[in-house]
Structure formats: structure tokens, C-alpha cells
A and B are shown apart, each in its own frame.
Chain A
Amino acid sequence: MAIGESESSWQSGRAKTITFIVTEACQLRCGYCYIVGKNETNRMNFTVAKTAIDYILRNRRLFDESSVIWDFIGGEPLLEIELIDKICDYIKLQMYELDHPWFNSYRFSFSTNGLLYGQEKVQRFIKKNKRHLSMSISIDGTKEKHDSQRVFPDGRGSYDAVTKNFPLWMRQFPGAGTKATVSHQDLPLLKDSVVHLWEMGLKNVAINLVSENVWEPGDDLIYEAQLKQLADYIIEHELYRTHNCSFFLKTIGQPIDRSEDGNWCGAGKMLAIDYQGTFYPCIRFVPFSMQNKPARVIGNCFDGLDLNKVRPFLVLNRSMQSPAQCLDCEVASGCAWCQGNNYDLAQTDTIFQRAVYTCDMHKARVRANLYFWDKLSGTLGRELG
């Protein structure tokens, strides 16, 4: 995939995503992690999972998408691979028995820290479900960058333990990408990290800034400088036709017409289920993700979805949550937000208030994009004579 192209999601993003939060435990204590309440005690049991699956598969009217992504997350989901295996078997069996349309159009999706990837039981699960499996391992870039954030409870970095599983993972999922994250402390390592991931063989690098307000004055300038260095590297090494990094997109930095009033975030259109069978609009509204606000519950697997609690998410639009500075912004396109984070930081318990602390960082990215596309266009122009 060439630079600037967006990776198309499975079924063009129209599939229903159902996230099972199978555990709230994780072997790592990443510095930027939004999960503030990790613990060893809250684990899903099969009865809860089964009840949730039965509810979802038997309520086609509420879950009428043509495809489904059964997403497993934690904490670290592979800690519960035996439970997940049982859940996936039950899903397949039920979809078949109910002659459910999803039987012909489903995925099991994982975001893992990769530490347990080589385990025999994990490998057995992969072999069993390979045709319907997406598996993403999180690695942040160079060892220095990765180990500055993705650490064990005793402070040791996890780079070596994760990357030892890389060859196997890349053999099994050759087109897979990673999800890398950038925070305040490791901004100066951004360019080297993207290059490092490319050198590891990951040609499509999805990389994001953390959603939380971690930014300090001057970070936007470091960010811009890093992206410009990356731009120079891409052009100098002619990587623009073969490699991709999500920081560079042709579509960002344009004004957005007021009539284009959709919400950026898909919260509420997806469904997250915790160990008790409680439903949430996404994992960012679960108790262990909340720092300031009560969790945002939209039902449970025993009583079903509370459709009144889902309504706000389905009518939430850009104009009613954004301040004037965002609506009038000349470079608004591509400026992202996390609904759960907005809610956690809002003055009142509302999803209708957009946090704007990412403004400077977005503008820095827009400036770097202008630099990159302008320089690339000059280079290609010369190439073409």
C-alpha cells in the first residue's frame, strides 16, 4: 500500500464489532495505557459469554449488520485463550444452528501485546480459526521507544519478549499491521520508530497519538519536526510507493463543510461486554477506563440493550459537541477524538462536549503533511520530467 492510502477495513467498516473484555489483567503496565483499573480478579466466565452471544444472535432486529467482528480484548486477551476458544466454538456452533447470516461473514479479532503469541494453546487456537482471524501485535517502534512505555510491573521493557514472536506472527499473518502509539515522552523517537517498524517488515504502520491529554508546550514542534524528518526519509529512500504510515494522509487539513455533520467516533454503533455481561458503547466507557466519570452502561446480557441509553450515541453529531473554534477550523479534516475520553473530561456527564487539547498537535501534523505532499509532488514532477 502506497503512502497516503487508507487501509480498507474488513467489509468496508460496515460490520458490527462486538468486543468481549475477557479479562482486566495484563502482564504489562504501559505508561500511556487508558486502562487505569487493571486487576487480576475480573475475568469473564463462559456462562456470561454464552448469555451475551445468545442475546445477540437471537435479536437480529437489533443486530442487523450483514457481517460481524467478534473482538477479544483485555487487559491482555491471550491470557484467557482457553475461554476464548470455548467462546469462539460456541459462536460458530450457534451461528450455524440458527442459520444466522453472520455464519458466512465473521471475523475473530485480537489486539495483543504478543507476549503469549508463541504458546502452544495460542498456536492451536490460531490453527483452528486461521481463515477467520485478524491478529494485531502492538509494538511501538525502536527498542528504546517501546521499552520506555511498554514495561512489565517491575519496569523492565517488553521489546525483546515481544519481538521474539515476530517471525512466527509475520509468517502466519503476512499482511498484518501493528498498532503503535506515541506519547509525550517518546515523541523525539517517532521517526526512528516508524522506520524501525518498516525495517522489521511491517510495511503498513498504523500509528496514533494517545487520546489523553499528555501534551506539553512545545510538543507540537517536536511532533512536526519528527514528521518532517520522516517525510524526508520516505522521499529520499523512495518508500512512498511501497510503504505506508497513517500519519500521512492526503485528506487531512481541509475545512469541513457544516453540512457534513457526522460523528468521528463509532461508539454506540459497536458493543463492548465486560466480565459481568454489562454492555457499554465501547471499551473506553468501561469502569476500568474511567478516571473522572461513572461508567456509561447501555444494558446487559440478561436484560438486553437499553435502547434509550444508546440513543444519544446514534444522534451525536460533530456540530453539537464541538466548540466554534473546531467548526470554523480551516484545517479540521482528520482531527480525531475519542468519545470516551471526551466524556471522561467533560464539565458534566455528557458525550456532547469535545476536548480540544489535541488542537496544536493536529495542526502540527497538518503542517508536516503539507510539507510532505508538496515535496513529494516536486520529486515526482522531476521524475516525470
Chain B
Amino acid sequence: MYKYLLVILEKGAVSFCHYSNPYYHSQGQPSFMPLDLLEKIVRYARDKELFVNFLYGKHRLPTKYEALIDTVDHVKMIPLSLQESYPDGVLVLDAGERDAFGSIGKNASRNIILRVEQFDLRQLASDVDLLRGTFKRLNLHLVGIERFTEKDIELYETQVKAMGEKLQQAYKMGGEIEINILTDRMLLQQMNNCDAGVKHLTIAPNGQCYICPGFYHDDEAATVGVWNEDQEILIDNQRLLSLQCAPICSQCDAFHCKRCVYLNQLMTLEINVPSKEQCVLAHTEREASRQMLKRLRNIKPFDMLPAIRSLSYRDPFEVVAQPIGNSDPLLADRAEDLDVDDYLTQIYEMQKKILQKL
């Protein structure tokens, strides 16, 4: 049973995640989702007590649409051009819009999504700096991972490290902001992924359902069925969207990873198998979180958080694909690959009373 719906209000709706929407920049009159369809969706969501994420394009909606949307629990995902119209919306920014970042009002409770393309990587840490004071939580999403080279990944690693150092300083000064790629893993003890097609479903302006907006914008024919308020959508092979059926992810502890099934399908042709790039990027973030948490160990509330153990690999495929299985479900490392501090910390985390015993 789905927990929430993503509703794409127009074909040119803002992309808020890894995928791109080629229609976002097209000119001309917007083609909004038909009002009667939106009415049915809103009624359905209210009846089923589903939360709705509405994805807006660059255009303000007609008044009738606005009134309808306000009758259901929801969040608005809006592009920068609509920030004045919907001050309570989640702002979706492209790093390429950095010249306009100065126009974003200071807000200590806002959520912002920042989408970063390959050619924006070099400025990533400084872009995040520019946004300081405008958000409580920043969700950073890389775009075009399928085109990333090893150099891009190295560049990302450098930038994430720099962001981590700045965030660490902010925490020492009492700051309380969150940046998904750095802070989520510190707080998680189990997988917390996107779960498209499991926890949420996307409804497009054409009345069709999709696993996520990425599938719709890539190919309208990639539908999982026509949306119908009287009949629940059954996704073929839905089991493959679950963690249990993901041979690499189910053995992994990069708990914050989006585990993006759209990228999986695009890059490996299997919805349950991530690409090397997705795994390495997630482990780059995991390692930055680990380092940061290690350095924040003396500061509250970080002293309460379990340490993240060090790993000898950046792509869990290297371990999962080996024929000799690991008995530890979370990919045990060979002891000689760990540094002594980490090794002792891991023993301590597993058995906290061990010091007393010793």
C-alpha cells in the first residue's frame, strides 16, 4: 500500500531528483493536468489518507487548481521562479541558477533541493555556501550520473569532503542544518531509500501511473497502468522494487543511498541492480559521513550516534559478486583492512559491555 503520491501537474514540471525533464524549459502555454483528473486524485488521496507531493512547472496554477490542492495534505515542489507565489513550497534549484541564489530569502526552517550536473561539480561546495541561511535541510541530487567519468567522481569526492569540513565547523558553532548526503547516514541504522513504486506512485498529466517521474519524462510509454480511483495499480514484478530483491543493495550499508530504480534501469537495464557509479557515489558520501562523525564524536548529540565502520571497498559489487559468500550480512571486511581505531570501535558498537567484561 502506497504512503504518498507524486502528482505531476504539468508536462513541464520541475525535476526534483536525478532525472531530467526535457520539457521543463519549453516555451509556450502550459498544459496542466485536466482539472477533473486532479479532482479525482485529490478525492482519492483524502479518502485513503495519502500525502501528496505536487510537482509544479514554471507557471502559477489557475485558482480552481489551487483551491483543490489545498484540500489535501500535501507539499508543493516548486522551481525558483515560483518562490514568491508559494513561500511554503519546497524550492527545487539547479546549481546552474546560482546567480539567482542571492534572491532566496533567509529561512531557517525551509527544505531546499539542489540539483547538480556534471559541469557544476567544481563549484558544489561554494554553491552550498551561497545557500547558507536559506534552509534547514538541503537535499542534494546529482543529475546525469550516467555520463559521470572517474574524474567527475574524484571531483565530487573533493567537494563533499570540503562540504563536510564546513558543516563540521557549523556544528561546532551550534548549527543545526542537515545536508542529506552528509548527515543522513549518520542518523540511519537501516536502509532509507526512495522506494519508488513501493511507498509512492507517480501520476502524470496524461492520467497514467509511473514508478517515478523519471520514467514518465524518459518515455511516456513506460507506464504501469492507467490511474483509476476504483482500482489499485498493480506493478508487474513489483517485488523487484523491494530491498529484499536487490542483490547488491540488500547486502549494503550505505543506508542513505537513494537506491534510484530509475537510474538502475537506465544504467544496468535491471531495476534492482545499481550501476557502479551509483554505488561509488553513495560510498563516497558514506565515507565523508564517517569521517565527519568521527571528528564530531565529542559534541552532543553526535556522541550518541553509533560509529560508521570503515570499508575497504567503494563498490559493494566487488564483494557481492565474489562466489565465496560473507557470513556477515553487511559485508564484513577483513580485519587487516581496517584501522585499529575503527576496528575497536566496531567491536564496542557490537557489544557495548565488552569494556566492562575486559
A contacts, CB < 8 Å to B: 259, 261-262, 296, 307-309, 311-312, 314-317, 320, 346-353
Decide yes or no whether B237 CB sits under 8 A from chain A: yes
Closest to A259 in B: B325
Decide yes or no whether B323 CB sits under 8 A from chain A: yes
Known: A348-B236, A348-B237, A350-B240. A316 touches B276 (CB 8 A): no
Closest to B321 in A: A314
Decide yes or no whether B269 CB sits under 8 A from chain A: yes
Whether B271 and A350, one on each chain, are in contact in the complex, defined by CB atoms closer than 8 angstroms, is: yes
Bound Cα distance A307, B136 (Å): 39
Of the listed residues A261, A308, A349, the one surrounded by the most CB atoms of chain B closer than 10 A to its CB is A308
Decide yes or no whether B245 CB sits under 8 A from chain A: yes
Contact size class for B?
Answer: 20 to 34
Bound Cα distance A268, B268 (Å): 13
Decide yes or no whether B247 CB sits under 8 A from chain A: yes
Out of B236, B248, B269, name the residue touching A315 (CB < 8 Å).
B248
Sorted from nearest, which 10 A-B pairs have the closest CB atoms? A315-B247, A312-B270, A347-B236, A312-B273, A308-B275, A314-B321, A348-B237, A308-B267, A308-B268, A348-B236
Number of CB contacts from chain A to chain B under 8 A: 57
Closest to A315 in B: B247
Whether A350 and B323, one on each chain, are in contact in the complex, defined by CB atoms closer than 8 angstroms, is: no
A287 CB, min distance to chain B CBs, angstroms:
15
Decide yes or no whether B317 CB sits under 8 A from chain A: yes
B interface, over-half SS: loop
Whether A350 and B321, one on each chain, are in contact in the complex, defined by CB atoms closer than 8 angstroms, is: no
A interface, over-half SS: loop
**Please, could you name 22 A-B residue pairs with CB atoms under 8 Å apart, sorted by A?**
A259-B325, A307-B276, A308-B276, A308-B277, A309-B268, A309-B269, A311-B276, A311-B321, A312-B270, A312-B273, A314-B321, A315-B247, A315-B248, A315-B320, A317-B247, A320-B245, A320-B272, A347-B236, A350-B272, A352-B240, A352-B272, A353-B237
Whether A352 and B245, one on each chain, are in contact in the complex, defined by CB atoms closer than 8 angstroms, is: yes
Out of A309, A315, A320, A352, name the residue touching B321 (CB < 8 Å).
A315
Residues of chain A with a CB closer than 8 A to B236's CB: 347-348
Whether A352 and B270, one on each chain, are in contact in the complex, defined by CB atoms closer than 8 angstroms, is: yes
Whether A262 and B323, one on each chain, are in contact in the complex, defined by CB atoms closer than 8 angstroms, is: yes
Bound Cα distance A349, B265 (Å): 10
Bound Cα distance A317, B267 (Å): 20
Interface string of B284-325 (1 = CB under 8 A from A): 000000000000000000000000000000000100110101
Whether B268 and A312, one on each chain, are in contact in the complex, defined by CB atoms closer than 8 angstroms, is: yes
Whether B323 and A311, one on each chain, are in contact in the complex, defined by CB atoms closer than 8 angstroms, is: no
Bound Cα distance A314, B325 (Å): 14
Whether A312 and B269, one on each chain, are in contact in the complex, defined by CB atoms closer than 8 angstroms, is: yes
Known: A307-B276, A315-B317, A315-B321. A349 touches B269 (CB 8 A): yes
